[in-house]
């Protein structure tokens, strides 16, 4: 069954599997012990650190193995903030960071720190000038800036080298979450802290990377011990670490050729999906993007239903952010980009994906979307025409995404060109999807206001054609 959810997790690379097996025999002892078994474990750990550091482009003593990429982010952010506590308590994060960054930012805010989000354009890209402006805006001097190297939901790459220059000029450290790009290449530029996650490149679960450049002030949070430079307490999982380092080296050897190949496959999806499926928006940066990720959203479709239908059809994809797939709120990444969230599908191709699988996906997708759209036929919307026939109110209160947009689409024909539709909705996705629908269909979005009584929002749309 084609697995197109590589950005979430990859099956173990053959090299990871081999290295893991080999290291099970020699890497189980405590590397802090002075006996032979301990020394053997220590040697494996040291060698893995050398290998990983070479792939990252750092000194081995700058690199710590953590128990996950999430843990690396939490420790990296809290540690860098604590190291800069005297300089200030203001944290800057891009609005499209991984939820682990946003969770760490929440903790910082709850502890009395301040946090500002740096916005992105419709392609999901952070502008270096916006970073400079946010650094200048305060309140007070910033302690840390967090910008990912590439986005996990839409694949957009960030201009990390330029952003690092801006941060360096301001004397503020930059933390780069490199989870998605590290399998492809080192992160350039003068960053201060960097994180990664092994299962994103075909390494085992349970291994993250935290790199803190020499000279960066850093105070690890919480209880620590003598392991991993005091930055990752607890017994090291050496077989998994060895497998992580070996597989990173292996995927890097294949990276350039595989990136070119996947990029072509993704180009094909980006071009064909809008031709094959009506009312689709492909999102993310056309040029600055990861090789294997493409994300699109389909009007009048429930993303989770489409995901289940594709799963039944033999394709494993994801919808929106991994961290919001089980919630009712739209992905914070799509929200920050201001693009359609309904019917959202992320296709992320693992290295080695055959072109035929992509063709088969393109063959299956149109019928699957159509079937999901057919299933979702809510009763006709409850509409209240205004006296002059030029305005109509659609009551979608209590209805979940994508129903409000479907009801809007059905009702628009009931007013004449120039007339105004007001949609009442208490679903959070409507705030994103109604303006996105207007942009896609060429109608004019007039804005929102609270409903007169009870919770909910009134969204106003002027029919343009």
d(CA 333, CA 95): 7
Choose between 323 and 440: whose C-beta lies nearer to a copy of itself.
323
How far apart, in whole angstroms, are the C-alpha atoms of residue 208 and residue 56?
12
Where on the chain is the footprint of a copy of itself (CB under 8 A)? 1, 3, 5, 8-12, 17, 20-21, 24-25, 28-30, 32-38, 67-71, 74, 78, 99-100, 103-104, 106-107, 197, 199, 204-206, 208, 221-226, 233-240, 304, 307-308, 311, 316-319, 322-323, 325-326
Residue from 146, 298, 323, 401 carrying the catalytic annotation: 323
Identity of the residue, 235 or 367, whose beta carbon is nearer to a copy of itself in the bound complex: 235
CB of 82 to a copy of itself, least distance (A): 12
Please, what's the largest Cα pairwise distance for the chain? Answer: 90
For residue 197, list its beta bridge partners: 208
SS3 29: coil
Residue burial 261-275, b: 16+ Cβ < 10 Å; e: rest: bbeebbeebbebbee
| CB-based burial label for 374 (10 Å; 0-12, 13-18, 19+) | exposed
Report angle CA 76, 288, 187 to the nearest 5 degrees: 35
Peptide bond into 321 cis (omega under 30): no
Whether 401 sits among the annotated catalytic residues: the reply is no
Q: How far is the CB of 274 from a copy of itself (least distance, A)?
A: 24
User: Which of 200, 335 has the CB closer to a copy of itself?
Assistant: 200
Which residue's CB is nearer to a copy of itself, number 95 or number 316?
A: 316
Q: How far is the CB of 447 from a copy of itself (least distance, A)?
A: 34
Give min distance, CB of 32 to a copy of itself, in A.
6
Q: How far is the CB of 170 from a copy of itself (least distance, A)?
A: 25
Nearer to a copy of itself, 205 or 338 (CB): 205
Does residue 81 contact residue 193 with C-beta atoms inside 8 Å? no
SS3 138: coil
Can you tell me the distance from the alpha carbon of 350 to that of 353, in angstroms, rounded to the nearest whole number?
Answer: 6
Nearest residue (CB) to a copy of itself, 138 versus 314: 314
Give backbone dihedrals phi and psi of 384, rounded to 5 degrees, phi first. Answer: -125, 105
26 vs 243: CA distance, rounded Å: 13
**Smallest distance, Å, CB 269 to a copy of itself?**
18
Six-digit token string for 42: 């220590």
Give the single-character DSSP code of 232: S
Catalytic residue ranges:
323
């Amino acid at each position: 069954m084609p697995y197109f959810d590589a950005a979430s997790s990859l099956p173990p690379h053959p090299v990871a599997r081999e290295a893991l097996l080999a290291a099970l025999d020699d890497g189980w002892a405590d590397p802090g012990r002075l006996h032979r078994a301990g020394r053997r474990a220590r040697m494996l750990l040291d060698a893995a650190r050398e290998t990983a550091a070479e792939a990252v482009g750092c000194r081995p003593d700058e690199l710590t193995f953590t128990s996950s990429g999430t843990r690396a982010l939490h420790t990296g952010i809290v540690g860098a903030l604590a190291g800069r506590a005297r300089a200030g308590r203001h944290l800057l994060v891009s609005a499209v960071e991984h939820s682990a960054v946003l969770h760490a930012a929440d903790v910082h805010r709850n502890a009395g720190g301040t946090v500002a989000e740096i916005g992105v354009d419709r392609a999901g890209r952070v502008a270096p000038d916006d970073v400079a402006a946010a650094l200048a805006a305060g309140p007070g001097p910033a302690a840390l800036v967090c910008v990912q190297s590439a986005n996990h939901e839409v694949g957009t790459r960030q201009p990390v080298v330029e952003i690092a220059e801006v941060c360096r000029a301001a004397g503020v450290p930059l933390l780069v979450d490199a989870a998605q790009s590290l399998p492809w290449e080192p992160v350039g530029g003068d960053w201060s802290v960097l994180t990664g996650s092994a299962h994103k490149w075909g390494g085992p679960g349970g291994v993250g990377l935290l790199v803190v450049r020499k000279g960066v002030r850093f105070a690890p949070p919480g209880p620590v011990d003598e392991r991993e430079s005091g930055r990752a307490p607890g017994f090291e999982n050496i077989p998994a670490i060895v497998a992580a380092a070996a597989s990173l080296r292996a995927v890097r050897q294949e990276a350039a050729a595989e990136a070119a190949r996947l990029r072509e496959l993704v180009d094909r999806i980006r071009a064909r999906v809008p031709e094959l499926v009506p009312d689709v928006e492909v999102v993310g940066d056309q040029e600055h993007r990861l090789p294997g990720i493409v994300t699109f959203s389909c009007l009048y479709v429930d993303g989770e239903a489409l995901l289940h239908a594709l799963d039944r059809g033999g394709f494993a994809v994801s919808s929106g952010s991994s961290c919001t797939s089980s919630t009712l709120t739209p992905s914070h990444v799509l929200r920050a980009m201001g693009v359609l969230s309904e019917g959202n599908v992320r296709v992320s191709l693992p290295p080695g994906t055959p072109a035929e699988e992509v063709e088969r996906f393109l063959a299956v997708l149109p019928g699957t979307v159509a079937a999901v759209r057919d299933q979702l036929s809510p009763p006709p919307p409850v509409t209240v025409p205004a006296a002059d026939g030029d305005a109509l109110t659609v009551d979608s209160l209590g209805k979940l995404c994508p129903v409000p947009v479907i009801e809007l689409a059905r009702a628009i024909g009931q007013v004449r060109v120039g007339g105004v539709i007001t949609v009442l909705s208490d679903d959070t996705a409507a705030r994103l999807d109604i303006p996105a629908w207007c942009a896609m269909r060429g109608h004019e979005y007039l804005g929102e206001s609270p409903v007169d009584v009870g919770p909910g929002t009134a969204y106003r749309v002027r029919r343009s054609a």
